[in-house]
Amino acid sequence: MLGNSSENSNNGQTHHHRFLPKRIILLRHGESEGNIDGSAYTTTPDHKIPLTSQGIDQAKKAGWRIRHVVSDAGECSNWKVYFYVSPYERTRSTLREIGRAFPKKRVIGVREECRVREQDFGNFQVAERMKAVKETREKFGRFFYRFPEGESAADVYDRVSSFLESLWRDIDMKRLQNDTSDELNLVIISHGLAIRVFLMKWFKWTVEQFEYLNNLGNCEFRVMELGFGGEYSLAVHHTDVEMLEWGLSPEMIADQKWRAHTSRGDWNEKCPWYLDSFFDRFADSDVEED
């Protein structure tokens, strides 16, 4: 059934039940014309860039791979999915092809969500200029560099944060499912940077940790799954090797494993690696200096 999380007050009394999706799956769109030929952006607006034939095939296969995950390889009988999709042509097309793997009765709904769209790189993009701009971004830093007439990753972080607030409201108000006995899975079809920023926000990763993250391949996805205690973790579905390949540090992977077994509401700020990323040294005792 859907994840059932209880939140406790200070005296240990349970005062609220929250039914959580079992999984939140983040998928990057299939291969687009812009992925194989950067000059496409000089004549076609970014949001209208279509998938290639290979991208369409990737999306079809991704649909069956996602269905295999959400159905627990066919072992679960009451699974359902709810889709969020970026308004770009390549993400909408990816969703259409993914949908071929799902019976209509399994799809609770779909919502176009502008806040998970691609990072805005400006309007029509001149190839040579963009090459120079991206070289400057590498020197400046990927997170804070703002493209001329466009966005920085920090800007994307702000709108993704707003989307997450709305997502939690939808979950709390049970807008995403009518039957809480259904095993709900959210599938968000978006773009590489938006997905990395989503994970950064969710797991409270630092800007420095974000800088080391690798982009997802086309139609590659990340599965955030509820652990034993009701906390989402990448480590429930994915291996250490996979997470290392994505750019997670050993400390970040250890945190994911902790989340897979911890009780919801706890937070891992007491872990040395987290505090050490902000402080060099603490006082030796509680005694105040004169």
Binding residues for substrate: 28-35, 90
Asked if 118 is an active-site residue, the reply is yes
Q: State which amino acid sits at residue 200.
A: M
Sheet (strand 232-233) strand order: 107-112, 79-85, 183-190, 23-28, 221-226, 232-233
Count of C-beta atoms within a 10 Å radius of residue 214: 11
H helix runs in the chain, sequence order = 33-36, 53-70, 89-98, 127-140, 153-172, 192-203, 207-211, 240-245, 250-261, 272-276
Q: State which amino acid sits at residue 104.
A: K
Angle at 82 between CA 163 and CA 161, to 5 degrees: 10
Q: Which of 97, 118, 183, 231 is catalytic?
A: 118
* CB of 10 closer than 8 Å to CB of 56: no
As beta bridge partners, residue 159 has none
Asked if 238 is an active-site residue, the reply is no
User: DSSP state, 266?
Assistant: B
Residue listed under structure tokens 């279509």: 50
Structure token pair of residue 12? 């240990």
Structure token pair of residue 125? 């993009």
* Separation CA 86–CA 210 (nearest Å): 22
Structure token pair of residue 3? 């994840």
Using alpha carbons, select from 122, 94, 115, 99 the residue that is nearest to residue 218.
94
Q: Which of 29, 97, 113, 183 is catalytic?
A: 29
274 sits in the region (left: phi over 0; alpha: psi -120 to 50; else beta) called alpha
User: DSSP state, 23?
Assistant: E
Q: Supply the residues annotated as catalytic.
A: 29, 118
